[in-house]
Amino acid sequence: MSLFLTFLYVFLCNSVSLSSSLSLHFPLTSLRLTTTTNSSSSSLQTSLASRRNPSQSSSSSSPPYNFRSNFKYSMALILSLPIGTPAQTQELVLDTGSQLSWIQCHRKKQKPTTSFDPSLSSSFSNLPCSHPFCKPRIPDFTLPTTCDSNRLCHYSYFYADGTYAEGNLVKEKFTFSKTQTTPPLILGCAAESTDDRGILGMNLGRLSFISQAKISKFSYCIPTRSDRPGFTPTGSFYIGENPISRGFKYVSLLTFPQSQRMPNLDPLAYTVPLQGIRIGQKRLDIPASAFRPDAGGSGQTMVDSGSEFTHLVDVAYDKVRGEIVKRVGPRMKKGYVYGETADMCFDGNKPMEIGRLIGDLVFEFGRGVEILVERQRLLINVGGGVHCVGIGRSSMLGAASNIIGNVHQQNLWVEFDVINKRVGFIKADCSRSLP
């Protein structure tokens, strides 16, 4: 089952109450959310979801945070967070591509094991329709808002694969300890959903977790995925200052003013200046315009922890695919498409051999900043004896953006420095313990 797919339609009535500084330390786990059975019926996670909602990022100076945790990784990063008073542990997908966080609040008897029970929390409250922001087309969410029959603010998320979550907007605290508790933050409380986990929205919108909690910096290190049965590799996660921050190579985020609104642009994403792609020693002849937003916003390149595969706009994808066909075309699986977007796939149990024939894959950002995907981990096991290059075609998602998915963030520390508007990278062995 896929949690993230293409368009997320949000019907919200809500408000934003920015809160004071927060110190966090919590466990993070990662599990694969998608099971692949065959070609186009397979689901590929990508969190293009809540990106259609323009907002103005709000961040303010705050004390340095030095809190860390381990996480287990297969494909989707799953946080276990204590929410409410007293705290109830909730599982949330860490998603740098989403704004609104939401938790499971199922009231049915057959509810998910991680469901939050509002009646047990003294700090829980609903947002009423009388709230000042509970009106049509508020700045953060451009789609119509609704009130439910109880005059409470209501939201509905509909994903392209048919999954959904809907419920009321609420306020609730993240209670980490007696001395580390956030003020009430705006969350979605899903009374109905087709998934058993929520989302922790970490993008630049003013309703995101980092904006409401005034978190200025966070980072993670995703280890390489293991196909060994029963083994799940462990990586690292920080909120606040990372001990190795001085070693990062940074790229400045591309920012977009309120006046510069384009139909295909997500102004709340972590947009980076991708300049080119290399395969082996060959720099592909991809026009620079493929990686920068045009007049309509198409061509934006974003770093996204919630997307599994990387996705490229057509002109870039065609160049990458063409080069791979030249090198290993006869060995490609004919007529096979994984997740309805990725068709560079191979049968058999020799992915490293095919990787050697293709060569290393490099995403270039300029000033010596690169993401290197080494040839021995170029192909991803998608099940059924099939391995695919971890790149899909964005247009098949109905998107016009380039997305650097988490599969191509492995063995890197990736730091999101919100205050300084930059993203940092440094190569690492992410299977090692935290520094």
Co-location of 271 and 204 in the same domain: no
What six digits make up the tokens of 208? 């995101």
* 95 belongs to the catalytic site: yes
Co-location of 116 and 252 in the same domain: no
By residue count, the chain amounts to 435
Co-location of 267 and 172 in the same domain: no
Dihedral over Cα of 276, 279, 280, 284: its sign: negative
313 located within any domain: yes
319 located within any domain: yes
CB contact at 8 A, 413 and 425 = yes
Co-location of 352 and 412 in the same domain: yes
User: Domain span at residue 104?
Assistant: 67-215
Q: Which long-range contacts (CB under 8 A, 24 or more apart) does 353-357 make?
A: 354/328, 354/378, 354/379, 354/387, 355/379, 357/327, 357/328
Give pLDDT, residue 112: 57
CB contact at 8 A, 170 and 155 = no
367 located within any domain: yes
The CATH number of the domain where 121 resides is what?
2.40.70.10
Co-location of 266 and 394 in the same domain: yes
* 304 belongs to the catalytic site: yes
Co-location of 348 and 284 in the same domain: yes
153 located within any domain: yes
Cα–Cα distances (Å) from 420 to 206, 216, 423, in that order, read 16, 9, 9
Co-location of 187 and 279 in the same domain: no
Co-location of 250 and 182 in the same domain: no
Give pLDDT, residue 318: 98
Chosen domain end from 175, 198, 215: 215
One of 95, 140, 195, 343 is an active-site residue; which one?
95
Neighbours of 220 (CB within 10 A): 27
Chosen domain end from 215, 232, 255: 215
Bridge partners (DSSP) of residue 180 are: 177
392 located within any domain: yes
Q: pLDDT tens track of the chain, all 435 residues?
A: 333 333 333 333 333 333 333 434 444 444 444 433 344 333 333 444 334 333 333 334 444 445 677 675 777 788 778 899 999 989 888 899 988 899 999 765 555 567 999 999 999 999 988 877 676 555 555 444 588 888 898 887 765 445 678 888 899 998 876 777 888 999 999 988 888 888 889 999 888 999 998 989 999 988 887 777 777 777 788 888 888 878 899 999 999 877 677 888 999 999 999 999 999 999 999 999 999 999 888 999 999 998 889 999 999 999 999 999 999 999 999 999 999 999 999 998 889 999 999 999 999 998 889 999 999 989 999 999 999 999 999 999 888 999 999 999 999 999 999 999 999 999 999 887 665
Global pTM reads 0.83
2 located within any domain: no
Co-location of 317 and 423 in the same domain: yes
Which of 378, 380, 360 lies closest to 370 in space, CA to CA? 360
What six digits make up the tokens of 271? 């947009």
One of 140, 161, 266, 304 is an active-site residue; which one?
304
What six digits make up the tokens of 348? 């058999």
47 located within any domain: no
**E-only strand ranges, 222-368:** 234-240, 249-252, 276-279, 282-283, 301-303, 310-312, 345-347, 361-366
Co-location of 303 and 171 in the same domain: no
In angstroms, the CA 365 to CA 375 distance is 20
Co-location of 172 and 113 in the same domain: yes
The enclosing H or E element of 369 equals strand 369-373
CB contact at 8 A, 189 and 103 = yes
Total structural domains within the chain: 2
Neighbours of 290 (CB within 10 A): 22
What six digits make up the tokens of 57? 């990022």
Co-location of 276 and 405 in the same domain: yes
107 located within any domain: yes
